[in-house]
């Protein structure tokens, strides 16, 4: 009897997915654990793996269609089974016409042309000939940014919001409509930390330093480290630190799991690796799953302060502005100090303003004294 392969929920925040490419045609043999389709969800491209051995009978979802998790995507039969031996397909579900195996293009990442699923999908939408595109990813792989950088093929300067930004817009609007978001901001004197950072024997950005501080300070402020699942609040037993990475046409938030146990060097290295994977389109579902708190850094773009939007289902997010020089009174004169503005957006249903202010106060104290970084550098 034919088996329905369902769309898995690869991450806690995953609600739906989009088939970007089928890798099997009707009649193709299927091995247990073999990739049979490419699926995109929340800016992460993943392979859909078969959960049994058999034969690919029929695709139930068309390429480009967005469906909720647990939706039946295809039928897999026993070896030698025919489609007419399987269960009836629900009325109104049109089977996908898949190209025969002999004419079907090779999967991404095989052959001479290396293309990420997102780049292939975007190229198809814009009518781009991938053979004419020079890839900037690892080993010359074509990534989404390479397609985004090309001139608009239509020439009229228009594009579909649903295709380009619609999923992001839906998620942000759901975050704003589904929670009572409040933002508190304060300046932090990071003069001493600036000097200490300059002497580090390895590279650590301001996002790394603040992420390290957050992962230590959050232990004393558990209401801000967790998620909301329906009407239940789940406080994290560890800090799984998400950080926003800007991509062409959107954002993705990789997660450093158990960041509170990572040294500053390890945290900075992991962040760099995950950011590189995000830009090359090679993030895995586990790379974005389980975040309990997010840091978003716009300081490198000259922004002093901004109001970040919570990354659902999390409770809070911290926005970082640039480190700038300000004048302060000192011993009857003027001293120049290095200052950073941080902005904490949190769900007011979970915590009030005073606990949030105390969290920012403790974070400011940690960042103003490099001693807190010494043991973990």
Residues taking part in catalysis? 348, 352
Q: Phi, psi at residue 374, to the nearest 5°?
A: -60, -50
Query: 3-class DSSP state for residue 359?
Result: helix
> Which region holds residue 42: left if phi is over 0, alpha if psi is between -120 and 50, else beta?
left
Answer whether 38's CB lies under 8 Å from 21's CB.
yes
For residues 55 and 53, give the distance between their C-alpha atoms in angstroms, rounded to a whole number: 7
Q: Which H, E and C letters describe 154-171, residue by residue?
A: CCCCCCCHHHHCHHHHHH
Q: Specify the pairing of strand 250-252 against strand 245-247.
A: antiparallel
Identify the residue whose tokens are 């193709």.
Answer: 28
The token duo for 152 is 């608009």
For residues 181 and 344, give the distance between their C-alpha atoms in angstroms, rounded to a whole number: 10
From 153, 152, 123, select the one nearest 135 (Cα to Cα): 123
Residue 232, beta-bridge partner list: 229
């Amino acid at each position: 009897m034919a088996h329905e392969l369902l769309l898995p929920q690869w991450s806690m925040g995953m609600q739906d997915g989009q088939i970007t490419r089928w890798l099997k045609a009707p009649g193709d043999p299927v091995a247990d654990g073999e990739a049979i389709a490419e699926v995109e969800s929340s800016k992460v491209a993943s392979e859909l793996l078969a959960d049994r051995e058999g034969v690919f009978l029929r695709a139930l979802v068309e390429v480009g269609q967005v469906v909720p998790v647990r939706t039946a995507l295809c039928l897999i039969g026993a070896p030698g089974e025919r489609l007419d031996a399987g269960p009836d397909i629900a009325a109104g579900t049109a089977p996908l016409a898949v190209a025969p195996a002999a004419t079907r293009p090779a999967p991404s990442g095989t052959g001479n042309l290396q293309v990420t699923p997102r780049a292939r999908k975007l190229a198809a939408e814009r009518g781009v000939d991938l053979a004419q595109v020079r890839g900037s990813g690892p080993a010359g792989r074509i990534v989404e940014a390479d397609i985004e950088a090309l001139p608009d093929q239509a020439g009229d300067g228009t594009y579909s919001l649903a295709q380009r930004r619609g999923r992001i817009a839906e998620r942000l609007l759901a975050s704003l409509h589904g929670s009572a978001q409040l933002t508190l901001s304060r300046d932090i004197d990071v003069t001493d930390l600036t000097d200490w950072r300059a002497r580090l024997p390895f590279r650590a950005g301001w996002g790394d330093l603040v992420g390290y501080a957050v992962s230590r300070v959050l232990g004393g402020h558990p209401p801000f480290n967790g998620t909301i699942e329906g009407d239940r609040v789940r406080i994290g037993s560890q800090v799984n630190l998400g950080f926003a990475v800007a991509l062409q046409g959107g954002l993705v938030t990789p997660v450093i799991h158990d960041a509170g146990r990572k040294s500053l060097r390890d945290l900075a290295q992991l962040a760099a690796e995950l950011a590189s994977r995000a830009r090359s389109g090679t993030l895995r579902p586990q790379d974005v799953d389980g975040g309990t708190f997010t840091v978003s850094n716009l300081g490198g773009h000259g922004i002093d302060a901004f109001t970040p939007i919570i990354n659902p289902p999390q409770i809070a997010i911290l926005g970082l502005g640039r480190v700038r020089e300000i004048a302060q009174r000192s011993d009857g004169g003027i001293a120049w100090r290095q200052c950073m503005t941080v902005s904490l957006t949190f769900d007011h249903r979970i915590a009030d303003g005073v606990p949030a202010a105390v969290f920012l106060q403790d974070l400011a104290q940690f960042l103003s004294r490099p001693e807190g970084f010494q043991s973990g550098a």
